[in-house]
Each structure stands twice: as structure tokens, then as C-alpha cells.
Amino acid sequence: MSTNPGGGTRLDPWFGSYAGRTHGLRVSETRALFAVASRPEVVSLAGGMPFLDALPMDLIAKVTADLLATQGDVALQYGNGQGHPLLRGHIVEVMAAEAIQAHPDDVVVTTGSQQALDLVTRVFVDPGDVILAEAPSYVGALSVFKSYQAWVEHVPMDDDGLIPEALRQTVARLTGEGRRIKFLYTCPTFHNPAGVTLPVDRRAEVLDICQREGILLVEDNPYGMLGFDGQITPAIRSMDEDGVIYLGSFSKTLAPGYRTGWAAAPHAVREKLVLASEAAILCPSHASQLSIAAYLEHCDWRGQIEAYRGVYRERCQTMLASLKEFMPECSWTTPQGGFYTWVTVPEGVNTKTMLPRATTALVAYVSGTAFYADDQGSRQMRLSFCYPTSERIREGVRRLSGVLAKEIELAALFGQTAASGAAPSHGSAADVTNPAPDVA
Ligand SMILES: Cc1ncc(COP(=O)(O)O)c(C=O)c1O
């Protein structure tokens, strides 16, 4: 059909018509593997899906039915671009638990915090602008950044999260090179994928660096309420309301199916976010917003989050104990909350090339390479403990240890097992992989 002047696939007659910003986008090769991973015989340690069985489903069904019976004409109607005032009021209460003082006017309700990430990037980033992001960073954020043709500059972390001195040096280098840094993207609490948490004193230091350098800070915090001991670390936004955009979500503390998150932003930024959101989606789902508002009003949401915490605490303990039992040659982070631990495998093993062999052995994980915009991460993997039962987690780690043992053997015989899967270098078209929704 096409003369195919661009030399791309002959199956797509529009190949030459796509906008430049799509050139770096491609489907992750791991999507195909995760289609396999969702088979029941595979233990998936890959997904970031909450364990919805812990929800009071009957109660949720009842408040939703009552909502539709009494206010169906409102719930199923269009709403306003900023989000329903009732839910924005509840969001302010939720944020107060993290020491954030905000007004409902500061809040923009979004279609998951993923859309908030998209809006913030759309509003601030021109092609080539720099976004600072932790090394590693949430894969879904990296996809957004790349789709706006940002240059992602990773800043190293340790077991206490982002390293302030490394941030200072990175900023100094980039400003010395005359680069435009648009914002620092950070997930300071129960980090995805690293599982670590930035202590309060480091929060203050990171904020201080950003304030001195005039860098906006984007705080992504979907896991903050899911600390195993119930302790909540004050959000960075609680220390500064003018220099921080805070992103929250009901996906991990309640349910991702509502697709409801939010941004709390300084006044002028909030105006821009609302306009950008209206252009993209007109308004967030009224039905979801009002269902969540009814749930927060009528159900014991704090108790329900406590139930989630208990489940994840136990599963995390099983994950760490299983790693100790079956994979002592590796190292890993020790999360105090959230969904993930970050595992480093012995030298010579490549987690990306190992993945097909792991799924063949009926266990799945996400390779560390997914969480970098450059060529790092091939010795790391993210293991999630949120969804499978403790029994399945132990079995999954046991299976993984068998795969790993063979890789170590191969590496000893032939050297680095990476040969077939060297990670792409920074900025190349190949380095943007869109995660499948269930592995985000
Ligand atoms: C760090 C982080 N940010 C944002 C998101 C997006 O969440 P949602 O769009 O479901 O609110 C996720 C989902 O896994 C995440 O882990």
C-alpha cells in the first residue's frame, strides 16, 4: 500500500506521518512476557497491583448503589475540569495525615496520578529540557518524560533515597553546561522501584537545594500512607507550598480502577494544570470522584488502609526472608512500606536477558533497565510483594533462585550474560518503553 519512504514498517501506511515526539515511543518488549506472566501458573513478582481482596467490597457496593440511586443524574454527568469540590475537600483531609496544609482550591483531580504527571510535564517541559529524576525512577514517569522529549538526568540514591550531595553536583554540572532544568521528580516515600524512604533531614536538604537553585520539585507520593508501622513521614510539600507540586493517588490506598489521583500545586501552576486537563479530558470521571467521596464519608477508610498495611507488612517479611533463604548471593533493599524491594544480582548476570528464562520457569519480575532512561539497571530487578500471597511469594523466589543459579553458572563459563541484551544508551529511540498497566 505504501511506498514507505521512511524505511519503516510496511504494515503501517502512516509511518512517515507521526509527530517527532512519538519517535522514541515503543511498546516494551516485556509486555509480551507479561501476557505470559498473567497466566495463573506463573508467580508474578512484577506487578504493582494492590490486593483488592482486602477491601470491604460489600460496603463499597452499597455506598456506590446508594450514590447512583440518590444522585445518579449528578454522578453520571460531566463535571468541572478541576474536580468535584466535595472530593477536593476530602483530599485535603487525606493530605493532612501527611502534615500537608492545603485548601481544596489548590487541588486538581486527575485521571490517576499518571495523568497528573502528564499534565505537569506538558505544562513545563519543552523538547530538550532537563528533568532530574532518581536513579532508578518510576517507569511510567519516564515514559511521560520521554514522550515530551525531555532529557532525563538521573541522580544517584542510596538506602536513604536521593543523595543530596549528588543532587548538588548534578545541578552544578548541568547549570555549568547551560542546560535548562525544569524540575526534580522524586518519589521520596516507599520509592517505586527502590523501596527506600528519604529521611526528614534529607527532605529538608533536597528542598533547600531546589529552593536555592530555583528548581521546582515534583513529589510523587502514592504509597506514603502504606508504612508497615503506621508511621507517616511528613511530605516534602508540608515544608514548602510554593516550590512543590504534590501528586497523590487513590490507586494504592483504595483501588486503581477508579483512576483517580490529584495534584496539589501553587496557585498559578494549578490554573495551568486545569486548562491542560480540560484540553486533554474535559473533566475527570464524576462517577469515580463521587463514589470515592461517598466511600470516604461512610466507610472506615483509615481502618481499611490499616488492613492493607498489615497484608503488605506480612508479604514483605516473607519476601525478605525468602531472599535470605534462596538468594543469599544477592543484595536488596529493606522497605518500611509500599510494594517493592530492589534486588541487585551478582556481577555478570543481566536481569533483562534473564527475564525470558524466568518466565519459562514460571516466575516474573521487572528488570532494572525499565527504570532508567540510560543504560543502567541490568544488574537490578524490582520484586513486588503486594499482590501474590505469602506462599506464592516464597515459591516465586524459590523458582527465581533456580534461574539465577543457572545464569551465574553461565556467566562463570562465558562471562557477562548481557551479550544479547545490551541496554540502549541515553536518549536513543529505543530507551522509552511503555509499561503494561499491570506492571507500572
Ligand atoms: C510512583 C508512582 N507514581 C504514579 C503511579 C501512577 O498511579 P495511578 O495513575 O494509578 O494513580 C504509580 C503507579 O504504579 C506509581 O508507582
**pLDDT of 431 above 50:** no
pLDDT tens digits, 132-176: 999 999 999 999 999 999 999 999 999 999 999 999 999 999 999
Q: How far is the CA of 114 from the centre of ligand 1 (A)?
A: 6
The predicted pLDDT at position 414 comes to 81
DSSP string, 263-324: EE--HHHHHHHHHHHHHHHSS--HHHHHHHHHHHHHS-HHHHHHHHHHHHHHHHHHHHHHHH
Average pLDDT over all residues of the chain: 91
- Residue 187: name the closest of 257, 247, 227 by CA: 247
Rounded to whole angstroms, what are the CA distances from 167 to 75, 157, 163, 184, 328?
45, 10, 6, 9, 32
Contacts of 262 (CB under 8 A, 6+ apart): 83, 88, 91, 107, 108, 109, 110, 113, 116, 247, 248, 249
DSSP for residue 337: B
Give per-residue pLDDT as tens, 356-366.
999 999 999 99
Q: What is the mean pLDDT of residues 264-269?
A: 95
Distance 339 CA to ligand 1 centre (A): 12
What's the Cα-to-Cα distance from 156 to each of 114, 136, 420, rounded to whole Å? 23, 8, 27
User: With 50 as the cut, is the pLDDT of residue 2 above it?
Assistant: no
**Mean pLDDT along residues 384-392:** 96
**Among the ranges given (26-35, 103-112, 297-306, 320-329), the one the predictor scored with the smallest mean pLDDT:** 26-35
Query: Of all protein residues, whose CA lies closest to atom 13 belonging to ligand 1?
Result: 440
Residue appearing with cell numbers 486533554: 280
Task: Assign 412 a pLDDT band (cuts: 50, 70, 90).
Answer: confident
- Residue-level length of the chain: 440
**Could you check whether the bond before residue 164 is cis, i.e. omega within 30 degrees of 0?**
no
Please give all residues whose beta carbon lies within 6 A of any atom in ligand 1, as ranges.
Answer: 48, 112-114, 138, 140, 187, 192, 220, 222, 249, 251, 256, 261, 440
Q: What is the pTM of this model?
A: 0.92
| Nearest protein Cα to ligand 1, atom 12 | 440
Q: How confident is the model at residue 435 (pLDDT cuts 50, 70, 90)?
A: low
Residue 339 CA: nearest ligand 1 atom is: 16
Q: Residue 413 pLDDT > 90, yes or no?
A: no
Q: What percent of the chain lies above the pLDDT cut of 90?
A: 82
SS3 letters across 148-197: CCCEEEEEEEECCEECHHHHHHHHHHHHHCCCCEEEEEECCCCCCCCCCC
Report the alpha-carbon distance of residue 403 to residue 127 in Å, rounded.
41
Choice from 142, 252, 292 to test ligand 1 binding pocket (greatest atom count within 8 A of CB): 252
pLDDT category of residue 20 using cuts at 50, 70 and 90: confident
pLDDT of the residue at 424:
39
440 Cα nearest atom in ligand 1: 14
Residue 425: is its pLDDT beyond 50? Answer: no
Max intra-chain CA distance, the chain: 69
